[in-house]
Amino acid sequence: MQNTTAEARRIKEAEQAFDRRRRTFGLIAGPLFAVVAILTPMDALTLEAHKLLAIMILVALWWITEPIPIPVTSLLGPTLAVVTGAVPVGTAFASFANSMIFLFMGGFILAKAMMMHGLDKRFAYWLLSRSWVGSNPRRIFLAVGLATALCSGWVSNTATAAMMFPICLGLLNSIKDMMAANGRIINLSEYKYATGLMLMTAYSASIGGVLTPIGTPPNLIMLGFLDSMENIHVSFFEWMVWGFVAMVIYFVIAFVVLTKIFPADVDKIEGAEEFIRARQAELGGWTRAQKNTLLAFFVAVVLWILPGFFNMLLGATSPVLKMYNVLFPEAIAAMLGALVLFLLPVNFAKREFTITWKEASTGIEWGTLILFGGGLAMGGMMYKTDLSQWIGNLIVGAMGGELSQVVLVAVFSVLALLLSELTSHTAATNMIGPLAITIAVSAGLSPLPVSVGIALSASLGFMLPVSTPPNAIVYASGYVPITKMISTGVYIDFIGIAFVTIPIAIWLVGLVIG
C-alpha cells in the first residue's frame, strides 16, 4: 500500500509540474502569437476579421493552457473584440443571453434540488436493490454502471460520480470483509475488481451525459452553434433519440472491456444486499421535498419530450406543434420546471419552499454558463466577420476541395477526443465547433453530423485523471493505477469513435438526405 501511495504522490507531483509549465507557456505564447497574427499581412481578411483572428488565437491557447481560469478567458475574448473595434458591444455579448444558457440554468437548478433532497440516491439505491442484482458481482457491476449513467443524463457527471463513489467503497469493503472472514486478506488497491468498479463508475458518469442535451456542456454547445450559425434547431426529443443510441452502445463497450480486463474472482459478495438495504433504509420514507422535486422534474421532462410526440402524431407542419414550439421552447420548459421548485411549499406555515435562491444559486455552475456564453460569442463573431468562412475555405482548399461527411466527422471526432483528454471538454468544443460547422458548409455538406460527432466524442475522455472530474474522483481512491486507466481508456475511446460516433454520423447523413 505504501508503494502505491508513493507512486500516486510522484504522479501527482509530475502532473502539477506539467500544469505549471503548461500555464507558463500559455501565458507567454498566447499574447505573442496574437501579436504575430495581427502583424502578418492577410489581404483576404477584413480588418475586423484580422483582429478577431488574433483574439481567437489568444483565447484558444489560453483555453488549452489555462494560465487564467477558463471562464475568465471566455469573458476576455468578447471584451477584447469590443476594445479593438472588431465588433460592437451588442454583437459581442448577445450570446450570453442565448436561450441555451437558460436551458442549462434550469437544468442546474433541477439537478441541485434532486441532489439536495436525495432523489438521485433514492433512484440509485432502488436500482441496486432490485432482485436481479442480488449479490452477484457482475450484476452489481452492471447495476452501478446503469445507475450512474442514467443519473448523469440529468445531473452533472461530477456530482453523479461523487454520489456513487461512497456506494462503491461500501460494496468493496463488503468484499474485503467477506474475504477476511474466509481467511483471505486482500489489498483493494491491487484488487482487479476494485479497479474495474471504480472505472465503471467514472466512465458511466461521462457516458450518461450524452443521453440528453443538458447531460454535458458539449451537447448544448454544439446545438447552440447549429442554431445560431446555421439556424438548424435540434429538439430535446431528437437529441435524446441519438443520445440514447450512443449511450447504450458506449455503455455496452465499456462494460464488456472492463469486465474482461477486471473480472470478479468470486461468485457472490456476502453482505452486499444487506449494505444496500441498510443505505436505502437510512433514506426513510418519501419526504414532501422529494415529492415536490419529482413533480418539478416531471413537468420539465414532459414539456421537453411533448414536441417529439406531436411531431410523430400530427406531423412536422402541424399548427399545434408550431404553436407549442413558440410557447414552450426547451429553455422555457427548463425554467418552468425550476421555477416550480420555488413555489411548491414544504411547510407553508413557516413559508418554507422546496428550494431557496441561496441553495439554487450554489447549484448553478456559473463558470460553465460563462464559458458556454463565451464560446457562443466567439463562434458568432467569427461567423459575422466571415473569419470562420475564410478558415473553412483554407482547410477545404488544402484538402483539394474534396471532403466527405465520413472524413469530416472522423477528423473532428478524433480532434475533439484528443483535446478533451488534455483540457476541458467544454473549451475543446468551443474551439473546434464553429470551425467544423463552417468547413462543412464550405464543402457543401450538412453541419449536423459533424456537430453531433464532436459533442459525442468530447464525452469520451477516459484516459487520464485530468480528462474529466469523474476520472479524478475515482483515481483519488488509490484503487486505480494510472497505467490501467490509460490502457482501458484507449480501448474504449477509439472503439467508441469507430463503432458509435462515426456510424451515428453516417445515420444522420441518411436522415438529412432523406
Residue 246's Cβ-count burial label (10 Å; 0-12, 13-18, 19+) is: buried
171 has pLDDT over 50? yes
Scan for cell 439536495, then name that residue. 116
Could you identify the residue written with the cell 442514467? 150
Percentage of the chain exceeding pLDDT 90: 22
Residue position matching grid coordinates 486507466: 485
What is the DSSP code string of 205-270? HHHHTTSSTTSSHHHHHHHHHHHHHH-----HHHHHHHHHHHHHHHHHHHHHHHHHHS--S-S--T
Query: Is 38 a member of any domain?
Result: yes
Query: pTM here?
Result: 0.82
| Residues contacting 239, CB < 8 A, separation 6+ | 212, 213, 219, 223
- The verdict on residue 69 lying in a domain is yes
What is the per-residue pLDDT for 80? 95
β-bridge mates for residue 353, sequence order: 345
Contact between 294 and 119 under an 8 Å Cβ cutoff? The reply is: yes
Query: What per-residue confidence (pLDDT) applies to 385?
Result: 87
Nine-digit cell string for 411: 477528423
- Report how far residue 447's alpha carbon sits from residue 441's, in angstroms, rounded to the nearest whole number: 6
For residue 198, being part of any structural domain is answered with no
Residue 183: pLDDT band (50, 70, 90) is low
Residue bearing cell 433541477: 110
Q: Provide the 3-class DSSP secondary structure of residue 347.
A: strand
Per-residue model confidence (pLDDT) at position 410:
85
**Is the pLDDT score of 40 beyond 60?**
yes
Residue 458, domain member (yes or no)? no
Grid coordinates standing for 118? 436525495
pLDDT band at 400 (very low <50, low <70, confident <90, very high): low
Instruction: Tabulate helix, strand, coil % of the chain (nearest 5).
Output: 75, 0, 20
Helix axes 288-314, 319-327, angle to 10 degrees: 150
> Cell numbers of 59, please?
483565447
SS3 345: strand
**2-11, 296-305, 457-466: the lowest-pLDDT one:** 2-11
Rg of the chain in Å (alpha carbons): 24
Per-residue pLDDT tens over the stretch 245-298: 889 999 999 999 999 988 877 777 777 778 788 888 888 889 999 999 999 989
β-bridge mates for residue 347, sequence order: 352
Mean pLDDT, the chain, rounded, equals 85
CA-CA distance, 463 to 465, in Å (whole number)? 7
Domain count, the chain: 1
Does some domain include residue 44?
Answer: yes
How crowded is residue 132: how many other Cβ atoms within 10 Å of its Cβ?
8
In the predicted structure, residue 51 carries a pLDDT above the cut 90:
yes
Interior CA angle at 164 toward 163 and 165, to 5°?
A: 95
Q: What is the mean predicted confidence (pLDDT) over 496-502?
A: 78
Per-residue confidence at 1, pLDDT binned at 50, 70, 90?
very low
Domain limits for position 42: 1-87
Report how far residue 346's alpha carbon sits from residue 339's, in angstroms, rounded to the nearest whole number: 15
Q: How far apart are CA 514 and CA 508, in angstroms?
A: 10
pLDDT at 318 over 80: yes
Beta carbons within 10 angstroms of residue 476's beta carbon: 14
pLDDT at 119 exceeding the cut of 70: yes
Q: Classify residue 342: in a domain, yes or no.
A: no
| Mean pLDDT comparison of 262-271, 332-341, 359-368, 398-407, highest-scoring range | 332-341
Please report, for residues 134, 163, 279, 373, 455, the alpha-carbon distance to residue 273 in angstroms, rounded to integers and kept in the order given: 6, 19, 10, 46, 38
Taken as a whole, the chain contains a residue count of: 514
- Overall average pLDDT of the 402-414 stretch: 83
Does the structure show a pLDDT above 90 at 338?
yes
Give domain status of residue 74, yes or no.
yes
Query: Is 337 among the domain residues?
Result: no
